[in-house]
Amino acid sequence: MKLTLHIWRQKNTNAKGHFETYIMDNVIEDMSFLEMLDVLNERLILEGKEPVAFDHDCREGICGACSLTINGIPHGPEKGTTTCQLHMRKFKDGDEIWIEPFRARAFPVIKDLIVDRSAFDRIIQAGGFISVNTGQAPEANSILVPKKNADTAMDAAQCIGCGACVAACPNGAAMLFVAAKVSHFAYLPQGQPERKLRVLKMVEQMQKDGFGNCSNYYECEAACPKQISVKFIALMNRDYLKASFSDEKSELIRNQLA
Amino acid sequence: MSLFGYLRSTILSKVVMAITGAVLVLYVIVHTAGNMLIFIGKDSLNSYSAFLHSLGPILWIIRAVLILSAILHIITSIKLKFENLAAKPSKYAVKNYLKAKLSSRTMIWTGIMILSFVVYHLLHFTFRTTNPQHYYPEFYQPHNAVSSIIIERFDVYRMVVLGFQNPLISIVYIVGVILVGFHLDHAIQSMFQTLGYNQKHYFPTIQKCSTTLAIIIVLCLVSIPISVLLGFIGGEI
Of A105, A219, A234, the CB nearest to B89: A105
Residue A223 near chain B (CB below 8 Å): yes
Q: What is the pLDDT of residue B88?
A: 96
pLDDT tens column, B16-51: 999 999 999 999 999 999 999 999 999 999 999 999
- Where residue A206 falls among pLDDT bands split at 50, 70, 90? very high
Tell me the sheet residues that pair with A6.
Answer: A21, A98
More confident residue, A87 or B144: A87
Examine the pLDDT at B200 and tell me if it is beyond 60: yes
- What is the pairing mode between strands A69-70 and A96-100? antiparallel
* B124 part of a folded domain: yes
Question: Tens digits of per-residue pLDDT, B67-104?
Answer: 999 999 999 999 999 999 999 999 999 999 999 999 99
Torsion of CA B49, B51, B53, B59, to 10 degrees: -110
What would the pLDDT profile of A222-246 be if each residue is shown by its tens digit? 999 999 999 999 999 999 999 999 9
Beta bridge partners of A18: A9
**Does residue A207 belong to the interface with chain B, where contact is any CB pair within 8 Å?**
yes
Query: Does residue B237 lie in a domain region?
Result: no
Q: For residue A103, list chain B residues with Cβ-Cβ distance below 8 A.
A: 88, 90-92
Query: Considering only CB atoms, which chain A residues are within 8 Å of B87?
Result: 104-106, 171-173, 210-213
Contacts of A223 in chain B (CB under 8 A): 98
**What integer pLDDT is reported at residue B147 of this predicted model?**
64
Q: Where are the beta strands (DSSP E) in chain A?
A: 3-9, 18-24, 69-70, 73-74, 96-100, 109-111, 114-115
Check CB contact of A61 with chain B, cutoff 8 Å.
Answer: no
Residue B105 is predicted with a pLDDT of: 95
> Looking at beta carbons, which residues of chain B come within 8 Å of A19?
93
Nearest alpha-carbon partner for B35 in B161, B131, B137: B161
Query: What region does A252 belong to: left with phi over 0, alpha with psi -120 to 50, or beta?
Result: alpha
Other beta carbons within 10 angstroms of residue B175's beta carbon come to 13
How confident is residue B145, by pLDDT bands cut at 50, 70 and 90? low
For position A131, what pLDDT does the model report?
86
HSE-CB at A240 with a 13 A cutoff on CA atoms is 28
A258 vs A195: which has the higher pLDDT: A195
> Is A168:A214 a contact under the CB 8 Å cutoff?
no
Euclidean distance between the first and the last CA atom of chain B, given in angstroms as a whole number:
56
CA B228 to chain CA centroid, Å, is 20
Residue A52: per-residue pLDDT:
98
Residues A214, B104: C-beta atoms closer than 8 Å? no
**pLDDT tens-digit series, residues B54-69:** 998 999 999 999 999 9
Residue B231's contacts (CB-CB under 8 Å, 6 or more residues apart) are none
Q: Is the pLDDT of residue B1 over 60?
A: no
The alpha carbons of chain A give a radius of gyration, in whole angstroms, of 21
Q: Which residue type does B190 have?
A: S
Q: Could you give the CA distance from residue A256 to residue B81 in angstroms, rounded to a whole number?
A: 28
- pLDDT, one tens digit per residue, over B114-132 is 999 999 999 999 988 998 8
What's the pLDDT at B146? 65
HEC letters along chain B = CCCCHHHHCHHHHHHHHHHHHHHHHHHHHHHHHHHHHHHCCHHHHHHHHHHHHHCCHHHHHHHHHHHHHHHHHHHHHHHHHHHHHHHCCCCCCCCCCCCCCHHHHCHHHHHHHHHHHHHHHHHHHHCCCCCHHHCCEEEECCCCCCCCCCEEEECHHHHHHHHHCCHHHHHHHHHHHHHHHHHHHHHHHHHHHHCCCCCCCCHHHHHHHHHHHHHHHHHHHHHHHHHHHHCCCCCCC
- Of the candidates B88, B159, B73, B57, the residue with the CA atom closest to the CA atom of residue A174: B88
* CATH code of residue B185: 1.20.1300.10
Q: Chain A partners of B91 at a C-beta cutoff of 8 Å?
A: 103
Counting DSSP H helices and E strands in chain A, the numbers are: 9, 7
Taking a C-beta distance cutoff of 8 angstroms, is the pair B73, B20 a contact?
yes
Q: Which position has the higher pLDDT, A44 or A248?
A: A44
Q: Does the beta-carbon distance from A105 to B12 stay under 8 Å?
A: no
User: Residue A72 is nearest to which of B96, B107, B190, comparing CB atoms?
Assistant: B96
Q: What are phi and psi of B221, to 5 degrees?
A: -70, -35
Residue B144 has pLDDT above 80, yes or no: no
Residue A10 has pLDDT above 70, yes or no: yes
Report yes or no on B43 lying in a domain. yes
- In a domain, residue B202? The reply is yes
Report the gap between the CA of A211 and the closest CA in chain B (Å). Answer: 6
Q: What end-to-end distance do the CA atoms of chain A give, in Å?
A: 65
How far is residue A236 from each of residues A120, A179, B22, B167, B219, measured CA to CA in Å?
A: 17, 5, 20, 49, 36
Cα–chain center distance at B197? 24
Using CB atoms, pick whichever of A71, A213, A219 lies closest to residue B100: A219
Q: Nearest CB to B87: which of A210, A229, A231?
A: A210
pLDDT in tens, A207-221: 999 999 999 999 999
Using CB atoms and an 8 Å cut-off, which of residues 107-166 of chain A contact chain B? none
Q: Which domains does chain A have, with CATH numbers?
A: 3-110 (3.10.20.30), 118-257 (1.10.1060.10)
Question: What mean pLDDT is predicted for residues B154-172?
Answer: 94
Burial of A64 (0-12, 13-18, 19+ CB in 10 A): buried
Distance from CA of B198 to the nearest CA of A (A): 5
- Please check whether residue B236 lies inside any domain of the structure: no
A15 shares contact with chain B (CB less than 8 Å)? no
Confidence (pLDDT) at B78: 97
Q: Do A106 and B186 touch (CB under 8 A)?
A: no
- Look at residue A101 and give its three-state secondary structure: coil
pLDDT, tens digit, for every residue of A135-155? 888 888 888 999 999 999 999
- For A136, residues 6+ apart whose C-beta sits below 8 A from its C-beta are none
- Looking at the complex, report in whole angstroms how far the Cα of residue B118 sits from the nearest Cα belonging to chain A: 23
* Domain assignment of residue B93, yes or no: no
Question: Using an 8 Å Cβ cutoff, are A176 and A217 in contact?
Answer: no
A6 at the B interface (CB within 8 A)? yes
pLDDT at A80 over 60: yes
Where in the sequence is the domain holding B138, given as residue range(s)? 5-86+100-230
The whole-angstrom distance between B105's CA and the closest CA on chain A is 7
Q: Whole-number mean pLDDT of chain A?
A: 95
pLDDT (0 to 100) of residue B133 = 87
Q: What is the pLDDT of residue B132?
A: 87
